[in-house]
Amino acid sequence: MPSPHQRDFSLEPADTERLANLSGPFDGHLRQIELALGVEIANRGNVFRVTGEDAARVGEAERLLRDMYREAAAETFDGHAIHLRLNAFRAAREDQEATRHATTARRADPDFVPQEVAIRVKRGTIRGRGPNQQKYLHAIATHDINLGVGPAGTGKTFLAVASAVEALNESRVQRLVLVRPAVEAGEKLGFLPGDLSQKVDPYLRPLYDALYEMLGVETVLRLLEKNVIEIAPLAYMRGRTLNDAYVILDEAQNTTIEQMKMFLTRLGFGSTAVVTGDLTQIDLPKQVKSGLRDALDVLHDVEGVSFTFFESRDVVRHPLVARIVNAYDRRDAQDASSGPA
């Protein structure tokens, strides 16, 4: 049995409010950190002891506690904030390991630190949580076409809508066009009640929800009436040229190759396009290749197009969501390695 490693240190200055904020109700935040890093944390006031089997993890826990104690003076922590902080900490550690071992096939420049982009909307200031979200926002601010690919809950659509709303508020664009493919999941559109608008509305609901949070319901409804904001199924984009517009294609994994090409060639002068999707949730028939997957192959070296790849560690929903994503990824990897039955 390896002997445990131990670090004793004090968090200065001693401040009961900051200590309570860091520790959480019934030391819940400390328990969360223990589980994530595989260490044990004990404290008496501002004197802490971290114990663990891995010396590196013990050192990481000390650095994390010192960083969070400094932040505790200005930020109120809850379970969600601790989860996001741990995600960012793990992401930074993994990036350092990737750099050290030169395993950077998908990250063109792991040492690149994007300039922080702060988005100001009605609900306040929005910043990227973790390196990938920060990279994503920086890419959107500096490229005309942007592809954000990764699992559900990583903020791809939310951040794209926030960037679009800010661009509209600052008059950098004249309108927002939010697009989704109306892929039929088990039911034909013709059997759904209502007219065409009512039939496709459920597919576009996530975009409405993001807009309501950014602008408020009344403002969104007014801008929709004036056609400043347009929410439409992908089929409505054919034959159009979009100038001075911010265009977001959500759920792009469910586009065909022809639809993706059609969408990307709608871009006019003064416009920005953001394409988001999750390649693990394709609802197309098995014999149809996803337009998003094809675009990643075709556009990887096209100047002016950015790519941001999110992973389970970037999930900003319930911590269980990241574990669910990882479980499905492992199963898919096993299926791929075993081949067809």
- Which pLDDT tens digit goes with each residue over 302-314? 888 999 998 877 7
Q: Is the pLDDT of residue 75 over 80?
A: yes
pLDDT tier for residue 18 given thresholds of 50, 70 and 90: very high
Give the total number of structural domains in the chain. Answer: 2
Q: How far apart are CA 341 and CA 178, in angstroms?
A: 41
In a domain, 113, yes or no: no
For residue 110, is it within any domain?
Answer: no
Instruction: Return the minimum-mean-pLDDT range out of 195-199, 242-246, 329-333.
Output: 195-199
Question: Which pLDDT score, from 0 to 100, does residue 106 have?
Answer: 40
Does 89 map to a domain? Answer: yes
Are residue 63 and residue 184 in the same domain, yes or no? Answer: no
Give yes or no: residues 171 and 295 share one domain: yes
Report pLDDT for 127: 78
Give percent of the chain above pLDDT 90: 30
Q: Is the domain of 181 the same as that of 213?
A: yes
Asked if 30 and 70 touch (Cβ cutoff 8 Å), the reply is no
Is the separation of the CB atoms in 275 and 146 below 8 Å? yes
Pair of tokens at residue 332: 């898919």
> What burial letters (b/e) apply to 122-149, b meaning 16+ CB within 10 Å?
eeeebebbbbbbbbbbbbbbebebbbbb
Ranges 105-119, 210-224, 226-240: which has the least confidence:
105-119
Whether the pLDDT of residue 168 is over 60: the answer is: yes
Higher pLDDT: 210 or 2? It is 210
Query: Average pLDDT for residues 98-105, to the nearest whole number?
Result: 44
> What average pLDDT does range 202-226 have in this prediction?
85
Same domain flag for 154 and 25: no
Last residue of a domain, one of 74, 101, 128: 101
Q: What's the half-sphere exposure (Cβ side, CA atoms, 13 Å) at 101?
A: 7
Same-domain pairing of 86 and 225: no
Q: What is the mean pLDDT of residues 240-250?
A: 90
Output the pLDDT for position 36.
78
Is residue 50 a contact partner of residue 58, using CB atoms and an 8 Å limit? yes
| pTM over cut 0.75 | no
Query: What's the pLDDT score for residue 107?
Result: 42
Amino acid at 303: E
At CA 334, angle to CA 94 and CA 290, rounded to 5?
85
For the chain, give the mean pLDDT. Answer: 81
Where does the pLDDT of residue 274 fall: very low under 50, low under 70, confident under 90, or very high at 90 and above?
very high
Query: What CATH number is attached to the domain comprising 222?
Result: 3.40.50.300
160-164, 202-206, 278-282, 329-333: which range is least confident on average? 202-206
CA distance 76 to 65: 15
pLDDT at 195: 55
**Which is more confidently placed, 72 or 199?**
72
| Domain endpoint, select from 101, 134, 159 | 101
Quick check: 277 pLDDT over 80?
yes
Tell me if 258 is assigned to some domain: yes
236 lies in the same domain as 281: yes
Tell whether 37 is covered by a domain: yes
Whether 187 shows a pLDDT value over 60: the answer reads no
Q: Which residue has the higher pLDDT, 298 or 235?
A: 298
Residues 95 and 229 both lie in one domain: no
Residues 84 and 136 in one domain: no
Q: Do residue 221 and residue 289 come from a single domain?
A: yes
For the chain, percent of residues with pLDDT exceeding 70? 81
pLDDT at res. 256: 92
Is residue 142 domain-shared with residue 277, that is, in the same domain?
yes
In a domain, 106, yes or no: no
pLDDT at 102 over 50: no
Segment among 45-59, 103-117, 137-151, 273-287 with least mean pLDDT: 103-117
Same domain flag for 61 and 172: no
173 and 68 fall within a common domain: no
Closest CA to 281 of 255, 309, 262: 255
pLDDT of 50? 94
Question: Looking at per-residue confidence, does 204 or 111 come out higher?
Answer: 204
Mean pLDDT, to the nearest integer, of 55-65?
90
* pLDDT over 70 at 2, yes or no: no
pLDDT at position 149, please? 94
108 belongs to a structural domain: no
- Whether the pLDDT of residue 49 is over 90: the answer is yes
283 within a domain of the structure (yes/no): yes
Q: Which domain holds residue 42?
A: 5-101
Domain with residue 13: its CATH number is 3.30.1370.10
The sign of the CA dihedral 12, 14, 18, 20 is positive
75, 101, 127: which is the final residue of a domain? Answer: 101
| Statement: residue 206 has pLDDT above 70 | yes
Residue 299 scores a pLDDT above 60: yes
Q: What is the pLDDT of residue 216?
A: 87
